[in-house]
Amino acid sequence: MKLTVIGTGYVGLVTGTCFADSGNDVVCMDIDRKKIESLKKGIIPIYEPGLKELIQKNQKEHRLKFTTDMESAVRESGIIFIAVGTPPDHNGATDLGAIKAVARDIGRFMNEHKIVVTKSTVPVGTSEAIQKIISKETRTPFDIASNPEFLKEGAAIEDFMKPDRVVIGVNNESTGAVLKSLYEPFTRTGNPIIVTDVRSSEMIKYAANAMLATKISFINEIANLCTITGANIDDVRKGIGYDNRIGHLFLFPGVGYGGSCFPKDVKSVIHVGRQHGYSMELLSAVDRVNDHQKALMPQVIRKHFGGNLKGRRLALWGLAFKPKTDDIREAPSLVIIPALLKAGASVTVHDPEAMKNIKNVYGSKIQYAKDMYAALKNADGLVLVTEWNEYRKPDFDRMLKVMKGNVIFDGRNIFDRQQLLDSGFEYYGIGR
Ligand SMILES: NC(=O)c1ccc[n+]([C@@H]2O[C@H](COP(=O)([O-])OP(=O)(O)OC[C@H]3O[C@@H](n4cnc5c(N)ncnc54)[C@H](O)[C@@H]3O)[C@@H](O)[C@H]2O)c1
């Protein structure tokens, strides 16, 4: 099939590449000229394991092209995926500016029947709004569909190629059949393609992210109570996880959820509720608990150093909002770093992939280490913020030699508390 993907970010680029890899002819379009020029040369603007190789392979086989030309991108394909950003505005509402601009362009350049698929995460009713915008521009018949994306950054290729499920929202059977056949190569293991109406499909994405965010805020709140009462969250987690109705997955306490999805999607659901006169009590609390969790670690650090961080040197391991990505959008590090600086500390950071992005935010306000041990040089303490694999089993003796102090603030509970205490460290975890 001939496909166009508009918006070549984390989702659009992975979507376009994976569809090309399953034999389709794909055009990826973006308004960002620099990004498209790089991609044409095989230079990938983001870090995502396996993506570079897959892009280069499909470029070589002429199934994957990049362009900034909206007109040809629309005209060339029968199926157009919209995968542009849907960031939050200052009220927590979803900014649909890019989506609407793209819809207008699709309408303007529509030359024959097309299926216009919303892959971006959008509030219920947006695909219908897209339909109206396109209809204003063209009399050519077209169909709309909703096809939310569930990939996780850091495992995006794997998630796209082997999805737990695919959700497709359509207004008629024939559109559903076309999209189902497009996804069939990825669901050979029997994972379902769920076909719904358009509104339910849009809601499924928000409900999924809201549920996942709720799990994180829930376990963080219980972990904080463990700290206060002397219980151990590791045992509590195990103790509840063996209940089949609860399960073990996604119940890890930490320094709060970040990324470009959970924070904005939770806020968007709250906002949509408000628009309809319905107060989303649970999700409002989930959002507040998360803000609190991000602010908690700097408070613990301050308290440890007697309320004053002047002259203290802190090392941070991990800046991305999660491992295996360079994405720092809404990352806990963006709350922890300014809080430490404000309290008078100097901060040296390390991350395997996100240093460049953090440098764009903090410039010369912080120091950037060439490797994880260099970050510890003369540090009074280490703050573990993102659980990259390479941080999990460090050389603790080497760390003690390099550091001035001996305290570790483990924001992801990746270290063995007793082992660290035995090695001569002081240790703070989350709820342990
Ligand atoms: N990142 C994720 O893990 C993830 C997962 C699932 C769903 N989503 C959703 O997918 C959507 C895209 O997310 P992302 O992380 O890929 O965003 P992104 O910011 O990485 O990429 C968006 C791209 O759209 C381009 N763009 C903006 N306006 C445009 C226009 N008018 N025409 C063409 N291109 C335009 C930008 O230049 C950018 O390259 C969002 O709705 C997001 O909520 C994201």
pLDDT digits over 309-362, tens only? 999 999 999 999 999 999 999 999 999 999 999 999 999 999 999 999 999 999
pLDDT at 315: 98
Amino acid in position 99: I
Please give the distance, rounded to the nearest whole angstrom, from the Cα atom of residue 18 to the centre of ligand 1.
Answer: 16
Write down the architecture of domain 262-428 according to CATH. Answer: 3-Layer(aba) Sandwich (3.40)
Q: Which atom of ligand 1 is nearest to the CA of 261?
A: 43
pLDDT at 23: 97
Please give the distance, rounded to the nearest whole angstrom, from the Cα atom of residue 158 to the centre of ligand 1.
Answer: 19
For ligand 1, whether the C-beta of 95 sits within 6 Å is no
Please give the distance, rounded to the nearest whole angstrom, from the Cα atom of residue 99 to the centre of ligand 1.
Answer: 10
DSSP H or E segment with residue 168: strand 166-170
Contacts of 140 (CB under 8 A, 6+ apart): 110, 111, 112, 113, 114
261: annotated active-site residue? yes
For ligand 1, whether the C-beta of 32 sits within 6 Å is yes
Task: Of 134, 135, 201, 211, give the one whose Cα is nearest residue 166.
Answer: 201
Write down the architecture of domain 2-196 according to CATH. Answer: 3-Layer(aba) Sandwich (3.40)
Give the tens place of pLDDT for each residue, 37-78. Answer: 999 999 999 999 999 999 999 999 999 999 999 999 999 999
Task: Of 43, 31, 101, 103, give the one whose Cα is nearest residue 67.
Answer: 31
Domain ranges of the chain: 2-196, 262-428
Largest CA distance in the chain: 74
CB atoms within 10 A of CB 283: 22
Q: Which atom of ligand 1 is nearest to the CA of 156?
A: 3
Q: Which atom of ligand 1 is nearest to the CA of 86?
A: 41
Low-confidence residues in the chain, pLDDT < 50: none
Beta bridge partners of 381: 314, 407
pLDDT at 417: 96
For ligand 1, whether the C-beta of 106 sits within 6 Å is no
Question: Which residue has tokens 């989506």?
Answer: 99
For ligand 1, whether the C-beta of 7 sits within 6 Å is yes
Please give the distance, rounded to the nearest whole angstrom, from the Cα atom of residue 339 to the centre of ligand 1.
Answer: 29
pLDDT at 385: 98
For ligand 1, whether the C-beta of 176 sits within 6 Å is no
Of residues 18, 28, 226, 261, which has the active-site annotation? 261
Say what the pTM is: 0.96
pLDDT at 98: 98
Q: Whose CA is nearest to atom 25 of ligand 1?
A: 7
The helix-helix angle for 198-229 and 126-137 (nearest 10°) equals 140
For ligand 1, whether the C-beta of 268 sits within 6 Å is no
Q: Mapping DSSP to helix (H, G, I), strand (E, B) and coil, where does residue 196 land?
A: strand
Contact 64, 17 (CB under 8 A): yes
For ligand 1, whether the C-beta of 126 sits within 6 Å is no
CA 381 to chain centre: 28
Same fold, 2-196 and 262-428: yes
Q: Which atom of ligand 1 is nearest to the CA of 264?
A: 43
